[in-house]
Amino acid sequence: MNSDEIILGVHNKIIGYPGTGKTTLLINELIRLRNNFSELRITYLSFTNEAVNTARDRLFARTDGKSVVFGTIHSIAKRVTANSRKLIHWDTRNCEICKSSCEYHLREFAKLYTSWYYDEEIKLDYTFTKYTLKMDGLYALNKNFNEPVFDMTLHYALSSLIVSNFGSEVFDKQIIYRINKLVSQIDIPRYSLLTSLEELMDFTIEWLEYKKNNGLFEFDDLILHAMDKSLDTDILIVDEFQDLSTLQYQLISKWGENIDTVVVAGDYNQSIYGFQGGTPQFLLDFECGHKIVLRHTYRLPRKVLEIAKDILQDENGFNSVYSNRDDGDISRINLEEIDINQLIIEYDSIFLLCRTNRQIKELDNKLNNLFRNRLSIAERAAYARMLNLYRNRQRGKINELLKQHSGRGELFLLAMDNGLTLQQLEKKFSVLQMKTIHASKGLEADIVILYDQSDRDMYSDEERRVWYVGLTRSRGSLIILQEITRKRTNYLSLIQ
Ligand SMILES: [Zn+2]
């Protein structure tokens, strides 16, 4: 038997380091199992809708894929519990048809809880502040407790306090995460709200009651309810296992007790959701009868791989990963010197990765990115005319046209000098993607630009892993972007 095959009747663990073909292996195995054991029911779970859809599409591209059940943990949990309560999202970006209802409830709850200073003018900021809150919220709590910096001790202290007061209904560290989000809903003195543990508890109780009174549930409630049910399948595959929260991990473990073949797959080093209770240990400690370790990275050039090893200092196996590729450059560059437009012309996909959403906003304002807004119809017509003139060497007329479109003149010249057709130029507008490192997980690009800035000192293994996730998104080169006036992170100091 091929040792890279899933073995039936036992628990399997697949460790897939970046670019080692984990998903490909899983898809191949899905096809093999389906063909050879068509009577077995297979359920495939992953963390995000995007990951689930990718896997489903890849399977459908090769077979009809019909006898495999695909889903996120939440969608499968919802099916299993047949829950009739209404879902509420704190992050309304996750809403599908429920957005207006979710916003209504969040506003109502904010009003209820903050009635003594509620102001009709308050606008809930759903788009930007929410995600920066996770860490910032705790940080702010720390400030209220006169602690110097974020530390896990407080996190655990609060968790255990809540556990002892509320029992099993909110027994998970996740609660802290949710409370931070609650705080973020209320735009007024953002952090002054929770100045004591008592207030923190009040806050939580209010929310639990509000949910109950209004027939609402959150994803975590769903997971809790699903623990009492069993998942009806013969083979359970869980991809991106390192992303599970504590609660989700408990659910999968519980379900796994009654399933013959369980396959968990992931890269423990990509566990970067500590604020939701995720940890590399879930994957590292998972007991299995068969283990597959994928060590050959096709994505990462050798140089990038070596840097990743130095930053990570992982003693659980990452050092044995290898690459046969000698391409790819690593460089460090100052913000004033980076020619982002030239890079966009040269490459087909670029990630510019930041640690926080706020950094993305700031950096986006500083970059002279000519590809920020797509061409208007008039500009497209103008470029088409210019190309014609360019071919006929009618410089004078080009200059006239450039004057009429002075705002875009530089872009047109750059594109013409690089021989871009109108169609090619249009495509360039989607080349650069600015993301947080967290949002880049599972994705890759031709070149990665990592913005080397740290808002505060963070010394932790998780922080190490976050930078590792960022730099291992590159299929080729890596650029470390720095600003002389800004504080750099410790973890990229190896790259000079
Ligand atoms: Zn919603």
Where does the pLDDT of residue 155 fall: very low under 50, low under 70, confident under 90, or very high at 90 and above?
very low
Q: Check whether 316 has a pLDDT greater than 70.
A: yes
DSSP 190: T
**Average of per-residue pLDDT across 148-156:** 37
How far is ligand 1, taken at its centre, from the CA of residue 208, in Å?
Answer: 17
How far is ligand 1, taken at its centre, from the CA of residue 98, in Å?
Answer: 4
DSSP 322: B
Report pLDDT for 118.
34
160 to 163, 171, 245: CA distances (angstroms): 5, 8, 17
Amino acid at 28: N
Does residue 242 contact residue 46 with C-beta atoms inside 8 Å? no
What share of residues in the chain are helix, strand, coil (percent, to 5)? 50, 15, 35
Question: How many helices (DSSP H) and strands (DSSP E) are in the chain?
Answer: 20, 13
How far is ligand 1, taken at its centre, from the CA of residue 161, in Å?
Answer: 29
- 445-494 pLDDT per residue, tens: 999 999 999 866 566 788 899 999 999 999 999 999 999 888 888 888 88
The pTM score is 0.78
How far is ligand 1, taken at its centre, from the CA of residue 87, in Å?
Answer: 7
Ion ligand 1, residues whose Cβ is below 5 A away = 89, 95, 98, 102
- 251-263 pLDDT per residue, tens: 999 999 999 999 9
How far is ligand 1, taken at its centre, from the CA of residue 93, in Å?
Answer: 8
How far is ligand 1, taken at its centre, from the CA of residue 36, in Å?
Answer: 41
Does residue 21 contact residue 298 with C-beta atoms inside 8 Å? yes
Does residue 70 contact residue 44 with C-beta atoms inside 8 Å? yes
How far is ligand 1, taken at its centre, from the CA of residue 100, in Å?
Answer: 8
What is the average pLDDT value for the chain, to the nearest integer? 81
Report pLDDT for 176.
53
How far is ligand 1, taken at its centre, from the CA of residue 102, in Å?
Answer: 5
Report pLDDT for 228.
82
Amino acid at 492: L
DSSP 356: S
Q: Check whether 130 has a pLDDT greater than 90.
A: no
Most confident of 63-67, 222-226, 410-414: 410-414
How far is ligand 1, taken at its centre, from the CA of residue 111, in Å?
Answer: 19
Return d(Cα 419, Cα 329) in angstroms, integer: 25
- 423-432 pLDDT per residue, tens: 999 999 999 9
Report pLDDT for 406.
76
Return d(Cα 387, Cα 286) in angstroms, integer: 60
Report pLDDT for 205.
65
How far is ligand 1, taken at its centre, from the CA of residue 92, in Å?
Answer: 5
* For the chain, percent of residues with pLDDT exceeding 90: 50
How far is ligand 1, taken at its centre, from the CA of residue 217, in Å?
Answer: 11
Return d(Cα 346, Cα 331) in angstroms, integer: 16
Report pLDDT for 236.
97
